[in-house]
Amino acid sequence: MKATLGFSTIACPDLPWREILDEGARAGMKAVEIRLDREDRPFGLSDAELPELAAALQASGLVASDVGMGLALTDYRPGLDEKLTPVFERAAAIGAKGVRVFLGYSALRVPEGKTENEEGIIRSVADAARVAERYPVDLWLETHGTYSRARDVMRVVNAVGSESVSVIWDIFHSYELGESVDQSDAFLGNRTVHVHIKDGVKKKDDPDGGMTYTKVGEGEVPLRRALELLDRRGYNGVLSLEWENMWRPELRTVFPDLSSILAAYRAYFETDK
């Protein structure tokens, strides 16, 4: 497969950024997905420090595949130009290819008492796309939360109609909401620009169909089939590990450090199918 291996910094939220790059390079990773801090800064660095990060990435042999915002669009959100412009500038400064945002809520269903307005979401994504069109960085929408199904994300993408908008296929999340990997791939087509890899098993007696995380290759998510479908399409982007230490304290006891996390991830691709 032509795709390359990468990882998200949610695996190591407390590790200094230089150590993250060193560990990634030693593990043979080729890309790092940087989760932004609450001020939408990579590793909390000031804009003046970004050339240092860019140089360190180049020296390590890693690329910043994308920067991940916590922004979730549930309706029309005015003022996105002002909010997103500095983020796209920072992404461009470190050579990132995308800025990730979410659609809808992070829960599997719209929380009680909350609402989503897809017409407003589409307008927001259109505004965000106009910002992206000014930079060598695209807007990436993830299959996540209430928009975990590829068919739902693609409804928004098609309505916006901008070539600056692409999709991160989080295989786990699409499967979690009942969409098969064949269905997801068919809906996404060549708009898949980045892929999140993680694994798990369905919880018993969970009406929402939620999943419990496992090591990659030890769950029921049909990752091998998804990889086969991507290979058939000629996908040559990043397969990015999301080991969610940032959000799930129980995962922190599975591996002692980032080196072990990445070694196990690489081993999954080196084993016989």
Which pLDDT tens digit goes with each residue over 165-178? 999 999 999 999 99
- Once rounded to an integer, what is the mean pLDDT over residues 54-73? 98
Q: Whole-number mean pLDDT of the chain?
A: 96
Q: Report the alpha-carbon distance of residue 132 to residue 164 in Å, rounded.
A: 6
| H or E element in which residue 82 lies | helix 80-93
Do 92 and 137 contact (CB within 8 A), yes or no? Answer: yes
Across residues 45-53, what is the average pLDDT? 98
CA dihedral 195, 201, 206, 210 (to 10 degrees): -10
Distance between CA 250 and CA 198 in Å, rounded? 15
Helix (H) or strand (E) holding 169: strand 165-170
Burial class of residue 235, CB neighbours in 10 A (0-12, 13-18, 19+): buried
pLDDT of res. 273: 53
Per-residue pLDDT band for 1 (boundaries 50, 70, 90) equals low
| Structural domains of the chain sorted by starting position, each given as residue range(s) with its CATH number in brackets | 4-270 (3.20.20.150)
Question: What are the φ/ψ torsions at residue 169 (nearest 5 degrees)?
Answer: -90, 105
> Structure pTM?
0.96
